[in-house]
Structure 1
Amino acid sequence: MEVYKLRCTNCGAPLPAPKPGDSWVRCEYCGYTNKIVDASKYTENLKQELEKWIREILPPTIITSTTVDVAARYQIFQNLIKPKVSLTRANVRARYLQQLSQPIMPLITSSPLPIDDSRRYFEEALKIESLKDFAVAEEDQKLLNETLVYEYLTAYLANMLRALSKNDV
């Protein structure tokens, strides 16, 4: 039996494990109360999107192969995965730095600050996590870990800025 961590249907963050018999679970990041059935459906949809995304990156022969040696995984990562992850890392790092450059305290401004959807960043982080088996070199693992850090921090900041903009703190 495979166990999947449930995701918040509002922000995409990982949900805490529900207690036996509970039908609702509260997101620790955005405060949204999720029905476990809805969160399970959302997680299943994410799993399908993740499989589709991996099929787009990797050639079909690699996906059907049951064993891939270390040298092959290294080549796959270098040629197919690393360019996309590097671009994703650069984009999410830029967005993270842009969010940090805005005032954290709510200020009255003439125009509202643009607020990102944290779900996008949590979903991208999930995709990046699924590629960890292909990162065999220490440098490649570091790239994936840094990308994950930026994805999560950007998602958390987006949740915080959304809460501040609604005076929901």
Structure 2
Amino acid sequence: MTRRLILLRHAKSSWKTSGPDHDRPLNARGRKSADAIGNWLRMAGHLPDQILCSTSRRTVETCTRLGLDVVPELRGELFHAEPEEMLACLKQAEGRCVMMIGHNPGIGAFAGRLVTSPPAHDRFDDYPTGATAVIGFDLSSWNRVAVGTGHIVVFTVPRDLL
């Protein structure tokens, strides 16, 4: 049975606000990028049936702007999560196509560890804001996911879409 994972790093956030890092909103460029990613996902048919999202303001705002018809599950453990924490969270997922919205450096490292080989895209290794990887797995359930078991279906960044 095929499963898909959409790994999305939150869109560009603002550094102009004071307060905790957790509470930073998207900036204008980030809002435009999140809208573009959502349009691209819908047009390409990459539609998750489950969304696991960090609790930060910028990840929640990114998720909202995607315009997908799925209520996100807000997960505190995804705020600045390491790849191991992300893997543990994914192993509990139940959807056939799961989206995970998080932060670097964890999400970029997680993407790199999951796939057998990286895509031929010059931005995959640094996984900039808004970077989105769609990864396919030949698994019957997410609890069988492991390092090196996925393959890149497609990878993009907002700059490719705008």
Q: TM-score, normalised by structure 2?
A: 0.25
When Rg is computed on C-alpha atoms for both structures, the one with the higher figure is 1
From the two aligned structures, give the one with the greater strand fraction.
2
From the two aligned structures, give the one with the greater helix fraction.
1
